[in-house]
Amino acid sequence: MPFTKSALTTTLFLLVGFIPVPAEEAESNSAPAAEVEVSYNKAFDQLLELGFPSCEGLQLVKVSLPDDLAYDDKYSIGYLECYSFDESKLFDTEYAWLVNEEDGIGTIRYREFFELDLKRKKQRGALMKFLVGSGNDSDGNHKLADWENAEPGKLVSSMSKQLKSLKSNNLFVARTWEYNDSGAQICARCLAMATAIYSAGYEKEANQLASAIFALASINDKVIDELVNMLAESQYSESYQKYYEDNDLLAFRKSVDLLAETFPRGWKNYYGAQLLSAKIGLGLESTERKIPAHEKFSADPEVLAIIDQLLARTDDISLSAPTGWILPQDPNANENSRNSYGYSSRHSQPQKWASEIIAKRRKALETLILLVDDPTILKARKAADRSNSWSQSYYDDDMPAEDLAMQQYDAMLRPLSVGDVAQSLIKSALPVQSSRGDEISSSALIAYAEQWLDSNHNRSDSEIAISFLQQENSDFVQAGLTYLCSAEYNESHDKAIQQYFLLGENIDLNLIQKYVSSRKAKASTFVTKLEAELKSRESSDDRSFEYRMKQKGGVDKYIDALKSLMVSKPPAEMLAEIQAGKVSLETGMNHYWTAIESDKSQFNQAEYLKFVVGYQSAEGKIESLDVLIEKCFNLNLIYNPYSDDREQTKNKELSGEERELWRSLMKCHSTLTPSELEKMNGVLHFDTYVAWCVLWFVDGDTALRMMSVANLSSEEESRSMIVGHANHLLGDRADSPVPDPPEEGSDIYNEVTSEVSTMNVDQLITYINTAELSQKMVLDEIMADETKRPESLSSISESIIKPHAPIWGNFTSEDKKDLERLLVGKVFDQSVLKQMHHWFFERRDRLPNTICVFMKGHGLFGSYTAYLMHGKQAEEYLDSLELDMSDVSGFKQVTAVSARAGEQLFLSVPAGDDEAYDKKLAEMFGDASDEANAQAGSFYIVYQMKSENFDRSSKE
């Protein structure tokens, strides 16, 4: 460990050290500078003796790091809260200490306590930085960054001036320090930098900065306490991570004891550490688990068996469980069963072991009560701990030591005991009451749970749910409401539910759908009242309500959907009404999917496919299939790679009826009209479109994999591959044209890796056009992994690999070939923009209402995309951009638009006027030099004809 027992007095010792000493009395090897009147050398030396990381021999650097690092808990500690205050500009620029560097690979000492591996970014000029952004945030285990040498003297001078300017800031007023630690945390952060500067040999500069810090600080003790906490936490983190590397529990306990001995003051988890040590001691002494006897119940053998299996695990475990799991769980609920605010606390997805335990409900609760004091230590670590190596604890100084210990222990990152698991699950099941929140002693928790079981022994689930509505904890209120909305009708209970919905500050629109669907006509009066309430809120300034209501299509559509739920119509009847023309497709789909959202078990794939097949036109089939895929994806009824349930939906078997319906759809519509083609978003054949739907329903894993591989293929190749695989899944083809992806290390994998290793962008494009499907699979994997991507292809993010152009209406295959000749392999810059402008101008009469979007990172392998749209699709896209056209006179000629955060740049000059065009183009790109105001370098080429339906200037 980097600390020793000689440092027992910690903060008291440091306080003496930070008492200003006249410079002439200080022990120093260098002559004191005139402007430094005091010396803090003794305190700096004591901090280094306590284990503060020395920067001796290291170079100070100014470093440009990915933005997400500033908010990464892994590199944070309590003091970093100060970053949220606009008043302090001290840390706008990151400084670090360069530990080593070779060939653009380096390691830095980051924020004084962390070592971070970096790789230099590719250098780009201001124009390309604007166009393509600053690059990806990481390359394998290295963060991509830029750094340059810095002078400690200049840094200290700058920080000292900024500290002086904060003197009048409210954060540094003495009375604020009595209840707010932010000012002390900012000072401590600066004092950590001063200590690092001192350790690097810059004694004068370190003392100058320390003087500025203590001139600003209101209570010096608090600054030193905060710095001691940083130091203690960094050393605890090292010990904690080491424990999971060597699994030596005794050594970990000794390190915790030594930390508590070394840092008796300042460490915010001091009392928690002592409790942790005691609990580890009990775990070490516990050679045989003993389940205590209870006069009213006994442990369930199946629950105990699950816990025994948990003890053998070494992988991460999650203690996540649905809030209020003592109530019956909705079998259709999953991680995506969110309320209309986006939260899903009621249905937090538990791991399999936890699901098996909570399924036993009261029996599980009884067994968990008997395990609350079980000290047996698990080998597995809590899943969330891996991304956060810092403990966070905030407490009241006047709290008794025993209470402090419990609160700090609960907040610490630490090895888990069986008792910790039991306590966590009990707190998820019951609304545990505590004056301090979740912190409650094990004996008090046992007493509460036992009393709860006694009090609720004869209560129904609905009565328990009603009791949850009285809780202050909103998660338990939500759990009670969720259960009651689908429980058997009870007049008094329903009054409570309706009162909550109508008078609550936030209205849960999704849960209301569930309630109305369950109550049908009994909800009529409630829906009338709700409509009035929602309309009254429309005029409020509640942005959250406005957004959630917009997601539902507005108040009128939402109420209309609720009324449809009140009618006892099975979903099949709703579909029949759409087909019979009794309701429009939009209204009917709104009613149908609202019903499915309320109860997903009502969804019947065959039923819906019959509805699709019933459409005579391809347009109707396409629209209804579009909705099918979108809704099923959002509801996790098909494979959703972003859902925790993705494994359950990855591969599904079709029934015989479903198989026949998909087959019949595959054989429909060999020819399509331009409007029908437009609706398929660039897919040129109806059977290909249906085949993609089949893949998402039956083989989602392959569908996801083939999306990127299809982009590497021509339309004909892609059609053969996707349709062939769909026919295989439907039983009409013995083998699939889609091979298994080659494994890393296989001959074909090694062959492709070798071939690609020296390619430039032009050679890659040629290779893509000639490669076999299995080779493309390998290529896709190599290019998707930045650690495997060849250095020779580093410029791909600045290039256009494959333009996406629709072939319908007046847009021909020849136009597409022209575009490919113009764009493929080109680095996106001003000349490409200008050529594209001319290309549109030459076709201004034949290709009205057409736009081309250039956007970095959206093309193959993170390249530039050149995406063409026209007709209604183009108009809708322009509408989505919400461009302000008020300054664009007429807007009826070829126009380039650059959209950046907070501003828009328009280029609207006749393409024949090269001099004026070039001047305007240079001006547009020149204005983009402010990287902070750039929006990923997105440019739009827009052509507009003088047509009423597309005259955007007339809409202003």
* Residue 904 placed within a domain: yes
pLDDT band of residue 751 (cuts 50, 70, 90) is: very high
- Counting beta carbons within 10 angstroms of the beta carbon of residue 716, is it exposed (0 to 12), middle (13 to 18) or buried (19 or more)? exposed
pLDDT at 939: 52
Q: Are 900 and 884 in contact (CB under 8 A)?
A: no
* Residue 530 included in any domain: no
Confidence of residue 41 (pLDDT cuts 50, 70, 90): very high
Same domain, yes or no: 237 and 312: no
Q: pLDDT grade, residue 913 (50/70/90)?
A: low
For residue 645, the model assigns a pLDDT of 63
Give the residue, 329 or 266, on which the prediction is more confident: 266
pLDDT tens-digit map of 225-265: 999 999 999 999 999 999 999 989 999 999 999 999 999 99
Whether residue 306 sits in one domain with residue 225: no
* pLDDT tier for residue 193 given thresholds of 50, 70 and 90: very high
- Identify whether 40 is part of a domain: yes
Is 804 part of a structural domain of the chain? yes
Position 76 scores a pLDDT of 55
Q: Is the pLDDT of residue 845 over 80?
A: no
Same-domain status, 155 and 14: yes
What's the pLDDT band for 887 if we cut at 50, 70, 90? very low
Mean pLDDT of 829-844: 79
For residue 516, how many other CB atoms are within 10 A of its CB?
25
For 286-332, how does the pLDDT look when each residue is reduced to its tens digit (9 = 90+)?
878 889 989 999 999 999 999 999 999 988 888 989 999 999 987 55
Residue 32's pLDDT band (boundaries 50, 70, 90)?
Answer: very low
Which pLDDT band, with edges at 50, 70 and 90, does 125 fall under?
Answer: very low
Confidence of residue 949 (pLDDT cuts 50, 70, 90): very low
pLDDT number for residue 884: 56
Q: Tell me, what's the pLDDT at 706?
A: 85
Q: What does the pLDDT read at residue 802?
A: 84
CA distances from 159 to 253, 340, 955 (A): 40, 46, 52
Among 227, 242, 257, identify where a domain stops. 242
Report, as an integer, the average pLDDT of 486-497: 90
Question: What range defines the domain where residue 87 resides?
Answer: 5-242
Nearest to 236, CA basis, from 209, 210, 217, 254: 254
Is the per-residue pLDDT at 664 higher than 50?
A: yes
| 32 and 151 fall within a common domain | yes
pTM: 0.65
Residue 219 makes CB contacts below 8 A (sequence gap 6+) with 174, 177, 184
**The predicted structure's pLDDT at residue 65:** 74
Cα–Cα distance between 909 and 888 in angstroms, integer?
11
Mean pLDDT, the chain, rounded, equals 79
898 — pLDDT class (breaks 50, 70, 90): low
State the pLDDT at residue 389.
43
Please report whether residue 432 resides in a domain.
Answer: yes
Residues 332 and 453 in one domain: yes
What's the whole-number mean pLDDT along residues 357-384?
92
- Which pLDDT tens digit goes with each residue over 279-289? 999 999 987 88
- pLDDT above 70: percentage of residues in the chain: 76
Q: Do residues 79 and 192 share a domain?
A: yes
Of 402, 436, 459, which residue is a domain's last? 459
Alpha carbons within 13 angstroms on the beta-carbon side of residue 413 total 28
Q: What is the pLDDT of residues 428-481, one digit of tens each?
A: 999 986 545 456 889 999 999 999 999 999 999 999 999 999 898 889 999 999
Q: Are residues 188 and 44 in the same domain?
A: yes
Let me know whether 192 and 65 are in one domain: yes
Is residue 4 pLDDT above 80, yes or no? no
Calculate Rg over the CA atoms of the chain. 33
Average pLDDT over residues 885-897: 48
Residues 501-523: what's their mean pLDDT?
87
Domain-embedded: residue 156:
yes
Nearest to 223 by CA among 256, 184, 252, 192: 184
What 3-state DSSP class applies to 653? coil
pLDDT of residue 891: 39
Poorest-pLDDT segment among 263-267, 809-813, 834-838, 884-888? 884-888
Q: Residue 925 domain-assigned?
A: yes
Predicted confidence band at 486 (pLDDT cuts at 50, 70, 90)?
confident
Name the domain count of the chain: 3
Phi, psi of 777 (to 5 degrees): -60, -45
Q: Residue 367's pLDDT is what?
A: 97
d(CA 364, CA 351) in angstroms, rounded, equals 16
The answer on 383 and 452 residing in a single domain is: yes
Q: What is residue 808's predicted lDDT score, i.e. its pLDDT?
A: 60
For a pLDDT cut of 90, what percent of the chain falls above it?
A: 34
164 and 32 inside one domain: yes
Q: In terms of domains, do 237 and 335 share one?
A: no
Strand partners, 895: 942
Place of tokens 């063409």: 868
pLDDT digits 0-9 by tens, 155-188: 999 899 888 888 878 888 888 888 888 889 889 9
What band does 610 get if pLDDT is binned at 50, 70 and 90?
A: very high
- Quick check: 387 and 74 in contact, CB under 8 A? yes
Q: Are strands 142-149 and 114-120 parallel, antiparallel or unpaired?
A: parallel
pLDDT on residue 900:
42
Query: What local confidence, expressed as pLDDT, does residue 930 receive?
Result: 41
Q: Is 479 exposed, middle or buried (0-12, 13-18, 19+ CB in 10 A)?
A: buried
* pLDDT bracket for residue 192 (50, 70, 90): very high
Whether residues 36 and 141 share a domain: the answer is yes
Helix 524-538 and helix 491-503: axis angle, to 10°?
10
- In tens, the pLDDT along 766-825 reads 999 899 999 999 998 888 776 677 888 877 878 888 887 766 666 777 888 888 899 999
Domain-located, residue 36: yes
